[in-house]
Amino acid sequence: MIDILVNEHKNIKVILSSVEHISREIANGGEVDVELYRRIIDFIRNYADKYHHRKEEKYLFNEMAKDSNAEGPVQGMLLEHDMGRKYIKHLELALNDYEKGNKDAKVRIIAYGIAYKDLLADHIFKEDNVIYRFALRVIPEDVAKGLEKEFVNIENDEDNKAIREKYVSLVNELKDRFNISE
Ligand SMILES: [Fe+2]
Ligand SMILES: [Fe+2]
């Protein structure tokens, strides 16, 4: 169960590195590749958020929060998911402005891109190193087994296979383009 989530983090981290590369290019005077950035936003919304965060929010965190000791940390994680959604909304608005010819929107494209990257990189680090281990301690074994089964069903669902294929291919494309080894 946890290995599936950690593996999804690896794909998300490639997207975060790409956002950093793109932001650096723009800061160095480059133009914004709006089409590519929109594909990245699509990844963030549909893979990082709907596909990955949904597993956390609906299943793992939901079960975890039934333990009063875990309630606070879970709230913190949910808050960060929401902050991420807000940054991406602002990033999209800045891209729309840029596309309409407002070159000053570059400042906000860089700012929200980097804000999202920093927020999510730190969030993923906490989940990989603290939160998921905490989850395994507080979720009863039979419930954890049920979650594991649920996650495997999600993985095997045909629609989800298509989603994975689409977004992993973007991850591979960006790995090549920006020379990302992770
Ligand atoms: Fe999360
Ligand atoms: Fe996560």
CATH class name, domain 2-178: mainly alpha
Total residues found in the chain within this entry: 182
CA of 132 from ligand 2 middle (Å) equals: 9
| Among the bound ligands, the one closest to the CA of 7 | 2
In b/e form, how buried is each residue of 22-52, taking b as 16+ CB within 10 angstroms? bbeebeeeeebeeeebebbbebbeebbbebb
Predicted local distance difference test score (pLDDT) of residue 87 = 98
pLDDT by 10-residue block (mean), the chain, 182 residues: 95 98 97 97 96 95 96 97 98 98 97 98 98 96 95 93 95 97 79
pLDDT digits (tens, 9 = 90+) for 74-91: 999 999 999 999 999 999
CA of 24 from ligand 2 middle (Å) equals: 25
Domain ranges for the chain = 2-178
Alpha carbons 113 and 144: distance in angstroms, whole number: 35
